Amino acid sequence: MASPNQYFVLIVPACAALLGVAMIYCWSRLRDHRYLLWIGSGYIATAIPMGIHSLMPNELLARWTLPLSSLYLLGVWTMAHGVAMRFGGRAHTGWAWLIIILTLGLLFFFSRVDDDLWLRLQILNLGLALLVALPAKSILYGRTPTLPLRTLLRASYLTVLLYAFTRVAVLAAVIPKEMQPELTRSGFWLLMLATNMLISIWLALAILTSTAMSIVQTLDHERSRDPLTRLLNRRAFFEQVQKRLELYGHSGWAVLTCDLDHFKMVNDTWGHAAGDRALKEFGALLARTVRQDDLAARFGGEEFVLLIRSASLHTAVLVAERLRSSVMNLHIPATAHTLTASFGVVQLSSNGDINQAIEQADRLLYEAKHAGRNKVIWKAS
């Protein structure tokens, strides 16, 4: 008959299973975050043998070593693979299968040939620790979604990794062989399960927090972008301009306004799909041209605005001329139309107002239109 302590320790696998179910549910609503499915499945796979071990009499442990250990090993590797996916890496499937097969082979020998619970614990925990270590390179040196999440996620993984190898060392150095018969009913077992629960909850919260923050950032990114060209929209452009000017000052900037020539003719002649394609191609050209501190936005229709770092008006005009030449090389499928664009360029003065600079660049743009289009007209602000 199971003791009250054994029923109490079922809280740990139950919590792990619930965390796994929560992650899988999140994945069902956020299919792009596939790592949640892997990590959630790993939590559930490890919760099953953990619960069974806590209730099973010691005399049955040898008989059930292989199936329960298989679940432990597969569950831990599944979690490791999911965490690696979060960092854009991998958990080395080939090495994982080698570790799993060697671990199960040794467990088979020390359960069916030479029954030794103490050695089985060492072997299983070492195998689990090695599986946790497989994605270490991807996690420590791979890409992360954003800088604020890097410390949280890596610290969580390192905590799990440190605990995995510490548990191996403690089992080898502290637990005597004579404790074998009562190990799963001992205070050490309860302590180990409690530690497992705390670390599992910590890792789950770190993963779910990073997922929530990524979703918020994605939504904010979508809110700030023009859906067709993926450039900044008008609102986001002015927000980013304010940050740039506060950080670097007003001098050393130029404003470029640009407009595709005869764009209405493209829509009327070849349809709106061709017009959308032209806008996307032009937007992509602007995105390729701007540098890290520059900004490019679609203000509406075929009107675009750029804020670029420029030490002089001459430099800004050269950028506009390069863009004007590049536009004529854009190919719009299913049309015979050669795109051109007109530009107005203004150098922002040290005390210049961005709105006034844009208005002035707009006037220069319309001068370029009236002068025959496919031109760059400039003036200091």
Residue 3's contacts (CB-CB under 8 Å, 6 or more residues apart) are: 185
C-alpha 136: how far from its chain's center?
A: 17
Contact between residue 128 and residue 49 where contact means Cβ atoms under 8 Å apart: no
Query: Among all chains, which residue has been given the structure tokens 């890290």?
Result: 292
Rounded distance between C-alpha atoms, residue 315 and residue 380, angstroms: 12
In this structure, are residues 339 and 306 in contact, taking their beta carbons and an 8 Å threshold?
Answer: no
Q: What are residue 256's DSSP bridge partners? A: 306, 345
Determine the Cα–Cα distance for residues 249 and 256; give it in Å rounded to an integer. Answer: 18
- CA dist 123 and 247 (Å) reads 57
Dihedral sign (CA 74, 79, 82, 87): negative
3-state SS class at 343? strand
Quick check: 46 and 80 in contact, CB under 8 A?
A: no
**Active-site hit among 239, 302, 321, 367:** 302
Name which of 326, 340, 381, 342 is nearest 358 in CA terms. 381
Category of 83 on φ-ψ map: left (φ > 0), alpha (ψ -120 to 50) or beta: alpha
The dihedral through the CA atoms of 256, 261, 267, 270 has a sign that is: negative
Reply yes or no on whether 367 is catalytic: no
What's the one-letter identity of residue 253?
A: W
Which 3 state secondary structure label does DSSP give 66?
A: helix
Q: How far is CA 327 from CA 52, 170, 175, 291, 322, in A?
A: 68, 67, 74, 18, 9
Q: What is the token pair recorded at 119?
A: 């050695």
Q: How far apart are CA 120 and CA 116, in angstroms?
A: 6
Residues with a known catalytic role: 302
